[in-house]
Chain A
Amino acid sequence: MTGYSGVWVYAEHRNGVISKNTLEILGKGRELADKLCVELSAVLFGCNVSSSANVLTIYGADKVYVTDDEKLRNYKTRTYARLMTELILKHKPEIVLFTASTTGRDLAPRVAARLRTGLTANCIDLDIGDFEDKETGRRYEKILYQIVPAFGGNVVATIVTPFNRPQMATVRPGVFPPPEKIFRKGEIVLFKPEAIDVDEEVEVLEVNRSQEESSLENAKIVVGGGLGVGGPEGFKLLKELADSLGGCVGVTRPVTDAGWMPYDSMIGESGRTIRPDLYIACGISGALHHMIGVRGSRKIVAINNDPKAPIFEAADYIVIGDLFQIVPKLTEKVKKYVGAL
């Protein structure tokens, strides 16, 4: 285990544009690296991506390992996993982080299994701390705390990988704020393996990433609706409020289960994670499964007609009342007096 040092972030990009979620974990990675007093590095694979490497240093990487090759034009699981493993074995980072995107969740377990190390999925937080092994009484210092919702989101568990290196985790998109530009003077290291071991058994026939991603994650204001909204008709009221504030509507899982609103508007453990300036929860009871997805909101307003609704525990502003009275009033006054920031 000795000789392993440094925090790594696997950088995702679309045609060279570094993903927002990568920058989020880069920000957290910086914090972890500072706590450990080690370097933060990013790893960037692709074709014609070298020019994007400096974005990663601007946002906090001390070093960026780049492999820029025609053979990496399309993402292929095994090609990338072999390359990533080779790089890890060469430089021995103690921590390797991925975003929990469809790519991260495809690649990271392959790499972890190749390295026979642990991997924790979908972390909502990360930290550095000590671990005492109860069996042997030995203390392990400065290891990675990987914090995940457990048992369907009712509790959180802290997972550690004390005896293996690297310690690996995928991180849920949206749980960390995007970092500030810190214009670090980073070093770009071109990594040219002798041969790139391309997966010949897989052929990429088509890549289509043209759909716009949901605007929910980027919205400054989100109006949330739960079963209390009562049906598709009720959601029109919420949409009007959201429109008047320049925001979006998000919902709880039973709402998408009932087919009142589309699946991709679901917020929470099984849906999206948002961190708007303002979250207005209407007719939502406040199950932890849902609250996990909104806890990064700056301010939370809860409108519920049940004074004992658990959501009031987790709200900045409590409005006890019927949403069918409050919401239209709110929309009316917002239209008159208010503009979104």
Chain B
Amino acid sequence: MKGVINMHIIVLIKQVPDSREYVRIREDGTLDRERVRAVINDCDKNALEAALQLKEKFGSKITVVSMGPPKAEDALKEALAMGADEAILISDRRLRGSDTLATSYVLYKAIERLGHYDLIICGIESSDGGTAQVGPELAEFLGIPQATFVDEFKVIGGYVEAKRLVEGGYEKLRIKMPVLLTIMKNANNPRVTTFSGILKAVKKQVVTWTIDDVGAEEKKVGLAGSPTKIMKVEKLSFQRKRLMIEGETADEVVDNLLKRLVEDGVIRGGY
């Protein structure tokens, strides 16, 4: 392949609470994180899988990058076991409370430090934050083009051809690299970690950087650097009329229900 041999691909992964488990909320509205297992965000695995498939084709180098608490190292180790070459964790107490702007700023500084890259692949959205904003905001900081909601793409001589889903169909784009893509869950089936993968990964180290290491300004990160603030958190109330529909038989119950619905004007008929 011309021009794209030895691509450097950066994959962004976030560690999130396992969404298949019931997330417990404490009385004060905060999340009970202790009891929830932490995993790699679902579609970030699809992002990594996409990178691994490119590596198999073009012989690329894959760097996985995550910003999070020290235990996010586990997610990065899993990524290494899946086949990533290098892993960077940006972890720093001063990052606590970062919103998407602060997060993408820090990721931008870290990626700048990494130097040359051809492709950045993210998941669409994180299952806990769920904003789908970090990818596009990061692309803006880096000044590179993006394609979001991508379910298929290929690399052809310095360009990415991506199919992105839109309401009622799709769009096909050809974009000059470097480019940032956000990948949908249905893009591929992430491989499972093999024993030999784990063995190989044992030798690889997760490198941890602080905000000083990446040269991020303290006032632009964490709570202070986040323009959005959580003002309050409350339980949702869905309370309604709650009228019990009575009846001796199913027939009667259904008659009584239909009568009510006709009275309410949501259906019309001979009741």
Q: Does A211 contact B (CB under 8 A)?
A: yes
Measured CA separation A208–B169 after assembly (Å): 5
Distance between A245 CB and nearest chain B CB, rounded to angstroms: 7
B140 touches A81 (CB 8 A): yes
Q: Which of A110, A199, A314 contacts B140 (CB 8 A)?
A: A110
Enumerate A318-332 residues with CB–CB distance to B below 8 Å.
318-321, 325-326, 329-330
Q: Known contacts A291-B238, A341-B266: does B174 contact A205 (CB below 8 Å)?
A: yes
Measured CA separation A337–B133 after assembly (Å): 50
Q: Known contacts A102-B167, A113-B104, A204-B173: does B149 contact A316 (CB below 8 Å)?
A: no
A110 touches B269 (CB 8 A): no
Distance between B265 CB and nearest chain A CB, rounded to angstroms: 7
Q: Known contacts A77-B146, A119-B100, A277-B266: does B240 contact A314 (CB below 8 Å)?
A: yes
Measured CA separation A211–B165 after assembly (Å): 12
Measured CA separation A317–B241 after assembly (Å): 7
Q: Which of B131, B149, B172 contacts A206 (CB 8 A)?
A: B172
Q: Known contacts A162-B229, A209-B167, A318-B245: does B137 contact A112 (CB below 8 Å)?
A: yes
Interface residue stretch chosen among B110-118, B204-212, B254-262? B254-262
B242 touches A312 (CB 8 A): yes
Please name the residue on chain A nearest to B220 by beta carbon. A116
Enumerate B134-151 residues with CB–CB distance to A below 8 Å.
135-137, 139-141, 145-146, 148-149
Distance between B187 CB and nearest chain A CB, rounded to angstroms: 14
Q: Does A106 contact B (CB under 8 A)?
A: yes
Across-interface contacts of B261 in A (CB, < 8 A):
278, 299, 301, 317
Across-interface contacts of A152 in B (CB, < 8 A):
19, 23, 127-128
Enumerate A282-312 residues with CB–CB distance to B below 8 Å.
288, 291-292, 295, 298-301, 312
Interface size, chain B (Cβ < 8 Å): 77
Across-interface contacts of A110 in B (CB, < 8 A):
136-137, 139-140, 146
Q: Known contacts A337-B270, A339-B267: does B233 contact A156 (CB below 8 Å)?
A: yes
Q: Which of B133, B136, B169, B243 contacts A209 (CB 8 A)?
A: B169
Q: Known contacts A299-B261, A333-B258: does B100 contact A109 (CB below 8 Å)?
A: yes
A318 touches B130 (CB 8 A): no
Enumerate A130-182 residues with CB–CB distance to B below 8 Å.
131, 145-146, 149-152, 154-164
Across-interface contacts of B171 in A (CB, < 8 A):
75, 204, 206-208
Please name the residue on chain B nearest to A162 by beta carbon. B229
Please name the residue on chain B nearest to A173 by beta carbon. B167
Enumerate B170-187 residues with CB–CB distance to A below 8 Å.
170-176, 179
Across-interface contacts of A318 in B (CB, < 8 A):
242-245
Distance between B24 CB and nearest chain A CB, rounded to angstroms: 9
Measured CA separation A146–B133 after assembly (Å): 16
Q: Does A121 contact B (CB under 8 A)?
A: yes
Measured CA separation A298–B261 after assembly (Å): 11
Q: Which of A105, A201, A206, A340 contacts B176 (CB 8 A)?
A: A201
Q: Does A184 contact B (CB under 8 A)?
A: no
Distance between A320 CB and nearest chain B CB, rounded to angstroms: 7
Measured CA separation A312–B242 after assembly (Å): 7
